Amino acid sequence: MSYGEKELIDRAKKGDVNAFEQLIEGCQKKVFNIAFRMLGNIDDASELSQEVFLKAYKSIKNFKGDSLFNTWIYKVTTNTCLDELRKRKNKKVVSLDEDIEFAGNEIKRQIRDNSPGPEVAVENNELKRVVGDSISMLSEEYKTVIVLRDIHGFSYEEISRIIKCPEGTVKSRISRARQALKKILQQKKELINEEYVK
């Protein structure tokens, strides 16, 4: 830890907002983007990252300095994201293609598909979008490591510190997460192909 960072941390521990803001300057965007990829939308990500920083400001007194400040912030970020995802899980989610009971008869729920057709999907940007969307279908565990490793490029060692798991676990989890993502993408591809054939 650099001397400057240590001094800022000491000041932030005493409640100095200015020092705290200097500390988080370098990681704000990353925190926001991790939250965005984990939660899947900008508004929630914005609110959650603010929560992360408020939480960090409140609890910086407990930061012991045995890891880097940024690692600590990312740890707070992933934990807060996972809490939020778990909270959401408990809320009832309406399935889009579930049949609705209407006046005793079941009718098909019809939702317009806003996603562009397969012809656009071959473009690189689209591929990114499809891959990005597929991340949201991963389990929390897999989502976390994919976001940290493949989108944000954290090393295995850093991830092991952030999610508090042994490096061996991180390695196998990343491997399985990528396999799972590949599977989701394959299914999407098949769906697109089916549509195309129609």
Partner 1 sequence: MKNCGEIIELISLYIDNELDNESRNDIEEHIETCESCRSELESLREIVGVLGSIEDVELPSGFKENLHERLMAQKNDNGLNSKIVLFKKKPFGFVSSVAAGLILVVVAGSLIMTRGLYGNVAKDGHQMLMNTHESESAKLALDGDKQSDESEGLDNLENYSIMFDEADESSKSRKVDGIGEAGESKEMQEFPDNAICSIAPTVTIEPSEVTAPSSEEPQVSCITVAGLGIYDVHIIVNAPDVEKEIGKINDIASSCNILLKDKIIATFSQGDSSAVSSPDETKKDEKVLNFNMDNSKYTCFIDELKAEYGDNLSFDDKFDGDGTMKRLIITVEE
70 binds partner 1 (CB under 8 A): no
- The correct pick among 60, 146, 159, 162 for binding partner 1 (CB under 8 A) is 146
Q: Measured from the CB atom, is 84 or 184 closer to partner 1?
A: 184
153 binds partner 1 (CB under 8 A): yes
- The correct pick among 29, 86, 88, 164 for binding partner 1 (CB under 8 A) is 29
133 binds partner 1 (CB under 8 A): no
Task: Determine contact, residues 154/144, Cβ cutoff 8 Å.
Answer: no
The dihedral over CA atoms of 35, 37, 40, 45, expressed in degrees to the nearest 10, equals 20
33 binds partner 1 (CB under 8 A): yes
32 binds partner 1 (CB under 8 A): yes
Alpha-carbon distance 163 to 141, whole Å?
10
Q: Measured from the CB atom, is 95 or 124 closer to partner 1?
A: 124
166 binds partner 1 (CB under 8 A): no
Alpha-carbon distance 107 to 94, whole Å?
15
Task: Determine contact, residues 152/94, Cβ cutoff 8 Å.
Answer: no
Q: Other C-beta atoms within 10 Å of 31: how many?
A: 25
41 binds partner 1 (CB under 8 A): no
Q: Specify the stretch interacting with partner 1 by CB under 8 A; choose among 52-60, 81-89, 91-99, 107-115.
A: 52-60
Among candidates 81, 70, 62, which has minimal Cα distance to 141?
A: 81
42 binds partner 1 (CB under 8 A): yes
Q: Which tokens hold the place of 57?
A: 């400001």
127 binds partner 1 (CB under 8 A): yes
Q: Measured from the CB atom, is 115 or 155 closer to partner 1?
A: 155
> Burial code of 37-69, b = ≥16 C-beta within 10 A, e = fewer?
bbbbeeebbeebbebbbeebbeebeebeeeeeb
13 binds partner 1 (CB under 8 A): no
Q: Which tokens hold the place of 103?
A: 């006046």
Residues within the interface to partner 1 (CB under 8 A): 11, 14-18, 20-21, 28-30, 32-33, 36, 42, 46, 49-50, 53-54, 57-58, 124, 127-128, 131-132, 146, 149-151, 153, 156, 171-172, 174-175, 178-179, 181-182, 185
